[in-house]
Structure formats: structure tokens, C-alpha cells
């Protein structure tokens, strides 16, 4: 027994050693497993947090500087500039310079609606508010919102006038845009008034004088105007001025049925609008609807008191045989507007029928003079071709004198005097201009111009954007297109 127990001891010790070794291995495996699990857990957490981190980086990373974004815009990297400005405006949503630059980029990309919204966000307290309103008005015009553009531009004019000398350039640009808009809508008197407001402080006065000739010597061609005005009416059916202008251009184009329908739509918006009643009267007279003309005149005698309305009434009375009343109305029309050739033509016809053949000669002579001088001025305006505005040259002193004589012959004495002064600005000792100015101040008239002389065609370019008047030479901050230097355009 004692020997057997001693024999079994080695076996037991071997088993113990094997068990001890297996326990040690298991322990080593247990010790090495936690780092591996931790590593796997860390990788899983990192993968889960990576999108969150990327999102937080995108949201909270600092935006590029405004100078860098402006540089991108100068190099026409519009998408990169747009992306940078969106990030910048998330941090500083009311910074005026960033909003102006963003509007410039949006306009360059053709996103004019967004351009308008960005400019509307410029704070009223910002010194750039006036420039923002001018750009907003330009963008609204390009889209086709005529009435909204007029409201915005008139607000810009008020702010510019309050700014004093610092607002002169912006005020000139806003008034220039308004003149183009009013010219398109055939609101000639309002456009002329704005031109004279621009005149004292304008650096190139001859440009405004040529704009006056364009506005007064004849209307825009209907095929140029109707598309833009119909777009305005489509976007804003309640735009009374655009609708009325559509009717007027349709009359010029000879589409009297459409013109009458359009002007009656105007009267539905404003039944007592004198300008719309005047256009309807003109349309009815041209269509020889004498019964409807009689009803219109009897119902709106006070509203139909302008020179144009009196001329239409006089023509109606003449065609219906009421010659004495026709002479009275046409004579009053000629007193209100002595520069309209058609009035003197009708007076000549009337007097010939009413009194004989000799008396109407003076009216027909006046008609021929006005028609001839207007035609010459129209031809002169048509000689102006599209060039770089920086290359525009004023008419020579001789041309200024010729234009002054023609304006005086028509009856535009103020414009004639300014053409003579323009001639003397270029050549202070130009004796014919000095003599003509003294004659105009003394007698109120000038000697007749040479019969068929037309000034040479080296003057200013065709009018940009509106084909109605030259844009004043102003800093680049007045435009919204993508061709302007960034720092000037945005500051």
C-alpha cells in the first residue's frame, strides 16, 4: 500500500502540472482579449461619430474671408463664391457688404429673384442701403416688375437726396433708371422732369440733352417695347402704367382692336384715370366710333383737358361738322403744346374747310417746320451707334449750335439754350454760339437752321439696356452685372 501510493504521486504531479499549464493559458487568453475588444469598440464608435463630426465641421467651420470671396468673384468663379457667401451669411446674415456681394454673384448666375431678396435684406441703417435699392430696382426691371422697380428706385432717390453730396452719384443713377422706365411706359413729362433734376450736377450734360432729344422727338418702336411691357403685365396684371403703355404702342402699331381692349382693362383697374381715358379717346377717334366718343367726352369733360385729349376732341368735332367748336379745342391744344405737328395739321385742314384756302397756310407752314425738324433730330439720334461709353465724344461746337437752332425752331427754348452753353463749354470763344445765345436771350428765338444739315454721327453710343437714354458716367457700384470689379462693385 505504501509503495502504491508512492507510485501514484508522479502521476498526480503530472496531472497537476498539466492543469496548471492549461489554467495559465486560459488566463493569458483572458488577459489578451480585453484590449482587442476595446480596439474594436473604439473603431465602431469612431465610425459612428465620423458623420457627426463631418456634419459639425461643415456647420461650424469658419467661412472664408470676404476678401477671398470677392477675389473668386473677380475671377468669375461664381459657384465657389456663392458657396462661400452662403457660409459667410449663415454667420453674419445682416452684413451689408456680404449681401451686396452675394447679390452680385446671384445676378451673374442669372438668379435675379434671389438677387432681389438679398438686396432687400440690407439694413436700412447701412450706408450701402441706397446702392442696394438702386441695384434692386435694376434687377426688378430686368425681371419685368416695372411698378415695383419704380417704387424701389424712387425710394433710392429720396435716400440719395438726404445723403447730400455723398449721394449725388447714386441719385443720378437711380434717376437715370427711372427715366428709362418712364420712357418705356411713354410717360414723357415725368421722364423729362427727372432729366432736368439730373442736369445741374451731371458731369456730361450733353448726354442728358441727347436723351431729351430721344424722348421728345419720337416714341420707341412698338416691336422693341411691346415684348418688355407685356412681360410686365404678365408678372403684375395690376400694373396700370404698363397696361396703358401696351395700349399706346398697339395704337402706334395699328392694332386698334387690341389697343381698345387693353385700355378698357386699364379703366377697370382705375375708372377715372385721366391718362387711360385719353388713350381710349384717341383709339375711338382713330376707329371713328363717334357715338362712343360723344359718350366718353360728355361723361369725362374735366378729365380730358390735356393737349392730346383736346386735339382728339377737336378732330372728332371737325369730322362731325361742328367746326367752330373744333377750332376752339384745337386752338387750346396748340396753346398747351405748341410743339406738336399734328395739331397744326388739323388746324390747317379745319381752317381750309371753314374759311377758305389762304388762311390755313401759316398752320401748314408750322406743321411742315415742326415735322421737318423732328425728322432731322430723329435721324441724328439714329446715327448714334453702340460703342464703349468711355469712347463717347460730345457733339462739336458747330453741331451743338445746329442742334440749338433746331430745338429753338420747334419751341424747346430751354434745351436750345443749354446746347449753346454746351458749345461754349467746349470752345468758350466760339462767336456764333455767343451771338446765338445773346439773340435767344434778347428775342426768345434763333435764326432758322440750315435746311437739311444733319450732325455727323460720331456722338455717344446707343443707350444701354433701355434704348432710351445714356446712363450717366458713374462708379461701378451702380450696376448689378458680372463685369464689374468686385471691390468697387461691393463697397
Report the domain count for the chain. Answer: 5
User: Is pLDDT of 485 > 60?
Assistant: no
Question: For 407-424, how does the pLDDT look when each residue is reduced to its tens digit (9 = 90+)?
Answer: 999 999 999 999 999 999
Q: Are residues 75 and 210 in the same domain?
A: yes
Please check whether residue 485 lies inside any domain of the structure.
no
Residue corresponding to grid cell 456722338: 459
Question: For 344-397, how does the pLDDT look when each residue is reduced to its tens digit (9 = 90+)?
Answer: 999 998 888 776 655 678 899 999 999 999 999 988 887 775 556 566 778 899
Q: Are residues 129 and 39 in the same domain?
A: no
| Cα distances (angstroms) measured from residue 286 to each of 78, 123, 195, 223, 304 | 53, 51, 32, 21, 16
Q: Are residues 203 and 262 in the same domain?
A: no
Please check whether residue 482 lies inside any domain of the structure.
no
Would you state the pLDDT for residue 142?
A: 94
Percent of all residues in the chain with a pLDDT value above 70, rounded to a whole number: 79
Distance CA(284)–CA(290), nearest Å, equals 7
Q: Are residues 72 and 173 in the same domain?
A: yes
Q: Are residues 5 and 143 in the same domain?
A: no
- The gap between the terminal CA atoms of the chain, to the nearest Å, is 113
Instruction: Compute the average pLDDT of residues 265-291.
Output: 94
Where a domain ends, among 167, 202, 217?
A: 217
Q: Are residues 211 and 277 in the same domain?
A: no
Please check whether residue 392 lies inside any domain of the structure.
yes
Question: For 151-201, how does the pLDDT look when each residue is reduced to its tens digit (9 = 90+)?
Answer: 999 999 999 999 999 999 999 999 999 999 999 999 999 999 999 999 999
- CA triple 311-314-317, angle to 5 deg: 155
- The answer to whether residues 295 and 327 touch, using CB atoms and an 8 Å cutoff, is no
Q: Are residues 76 and 213 in the same domain?
A: yes
Q: Are residues 26 and 168 in the same domain?
A: no
Q: Which tops the pLDDT comparison, 100 or 221?
A: 100
User: Is pLDDT of 149 > 70?
Assistant: yes
Please check whether residue 148 lies inside any domain of the structure.
yes
Please check whether residue 38 lies inside any domain of the structure.
yes
Q: Are residues 401 and 445 in the same domain?
A: yes
Q: Are residues 211 and 268 in the same domain?
A: no
Q: Are residues 347 and 419 in the same domain?
A: no
User: Is pLDDT of 86 > 50?
Assistant: yes
Helix and strand tally (H, E) in the chain?
23, 0
Please check whether residue 283 lies inside any domain of the structure.
yes
The CATH number for 225's domain is 1.25.40.10
Distance CA(217)–CA(406), nearest Å, equals 11
Would you state the pLDDT for residue 17?
A: 62
Q: Which of 304, 236, 317 is nearest to 269 (CA)?
A: 236
Instruction: Compute the average pLDDT of residues 310-314.
Output: 95
Question: For 438-472, how does the pLDDT look when each residue is reduced to its tens digit (9 = 90+)?
Answer: 999 998 888 876 555 554 544 433 333 333 333 33
Domain span at 415: 379-467
Distance CA(128)–CA(124), nearest Å, equals 9
- Average pLDDT of the chain? 83
Amino acid at each position: 500500500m505504501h509503495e502504491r501510493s508512492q507510485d501514484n504521486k508522479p502521476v498526480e504531479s503530472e496531472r497537476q502540472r498539466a492543469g496548471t499549464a492549461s489554467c495559465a493559458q486560459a488566463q493569458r487568453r483572458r488577459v489578451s482579449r480585453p484590449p482587442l475588444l476595446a480596439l474594436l469598440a473604439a473603431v465602431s464608435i469612431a465610425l459612428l461619430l465620423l458623420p457627426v463630426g463631418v456634419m459639425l465641421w461643415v456647420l461650424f467651420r469658419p467661412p472664408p474671408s470676404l476678401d477671398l470671396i470677392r477675389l473668386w468673384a473677380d475671377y468669375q468663379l461664381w459657384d465657389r463664391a456663392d458657396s462661400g457667401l452662403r457660409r459667410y451669411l449663415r454667420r453674419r446674415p445682416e452684413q451689408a457688404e456680404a449681401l451686396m456681394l452675394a447679390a452680385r454673384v446671384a445676378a451673374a448666375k442669372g438668379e435675379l429673384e434671389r438677387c432681389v431678396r438679398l438686396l432687400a435684406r440690407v439694413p436700412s441703417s447701412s450706408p450701402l442701403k441706397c446702392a442696394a435699392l438702386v441695384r434692386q430696382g435694376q434687377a426688378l426691371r430686368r425681371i419685368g416688375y416695372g411698378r415695383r422697380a419704380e417704387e424701389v428706385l424712387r425710394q433710392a432717390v429720396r435716400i440719395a437726396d438726404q445723403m447730400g453730396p455723398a449721394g449725388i452719384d447714386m441719385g443720378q443713377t437711380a434717376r437715370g433708371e427711372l427715366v428709362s422706365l418712364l420712357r418705356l411706359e411713354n410717360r414723357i413729362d415725368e421722364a423729362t422732369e427727372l432729366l432736368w433734376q439730373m442736369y445741374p450736377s451731371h458731369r456730361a450734360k450733353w448726354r442728358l440733352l441727347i436723351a431729351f432729344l430721344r424722348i421728345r422727338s419720337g416714341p420707341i418702336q412698338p416691336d422693341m417695347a411691346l415684348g418688355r411691357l407685356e412681360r410686365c403685365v404678365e408678372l403684375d396684371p395690376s400694373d396700370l402704367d404698363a397696361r396703358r403703355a401696351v395700349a399706346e404702342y398697339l395704337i402706334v402699331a395699328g392694332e386698334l382692336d387690341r389697343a381698345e381692349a387693353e385700355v378698357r382693362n386699364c379703366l377697370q383697374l382705375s375708372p377715372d384715370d385721366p391718362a387711360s381715358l385719353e388713350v381710349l379717346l384717341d383709339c375711338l377717334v382713330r376707329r371713328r366710333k363717334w357715338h362712343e366718343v360723344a359718350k366718353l367726352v360728355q361723361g369725362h369733360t374735366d378729365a380730358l383737358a390735356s393737349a392730346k385729349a383736346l386735339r382728339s376732341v377737336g378732330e372728332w368735332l371737325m369730322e362731325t361738322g361742328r367746326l367752330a367748336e373744333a377750332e376752339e379745342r384745337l386752338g387750346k391744344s396748340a396753346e398747351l403744346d405748341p410743339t406738336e405737328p399734328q395739331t397744326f395739321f388739323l388746324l390747317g385742314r379745319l381752317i381750309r374747310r371753314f374759311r377758305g384756302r389762304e388762311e390755313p397756310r401759316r398752320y401748314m407752314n408750322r406743321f411742315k417746320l415742326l415735322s421737318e425738324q423732328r425728322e432731322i433730330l430723329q435721324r441724328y439720334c439714329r446715327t448714334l451707334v453702340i460703342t464703349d461709353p468711355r469712347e463717347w465724344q460730345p457733339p462739336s461746337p458747330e453741331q451743338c449750335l445746329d442742334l440749338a437752332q433746331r430745338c429753338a425752331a420747334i419751341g424747346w427754348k430751354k434745351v436750345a439754350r443749354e446746347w449753346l452753353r454746351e458749345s461754349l463749354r467746349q470752345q468758350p470763344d466760339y462767336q456764333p454760339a455767343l451771338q446765338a445765345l445773346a439773340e435767344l436771350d434778347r428775342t426768345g428765338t434763333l435764326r432758322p437752321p440750315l435746311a437739311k444739315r444733319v450732325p455727323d454721327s460720331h456722338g455717344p453710343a446707343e443707350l444701354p439696356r433701355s434704348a432710351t437714354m445714356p446712363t450717366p458716367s458713374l462708379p461701378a457700384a451702380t450696376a448689378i452685372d458680372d463685369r464689374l470689379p468686385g471691390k468697387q462693385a461691393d463697397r
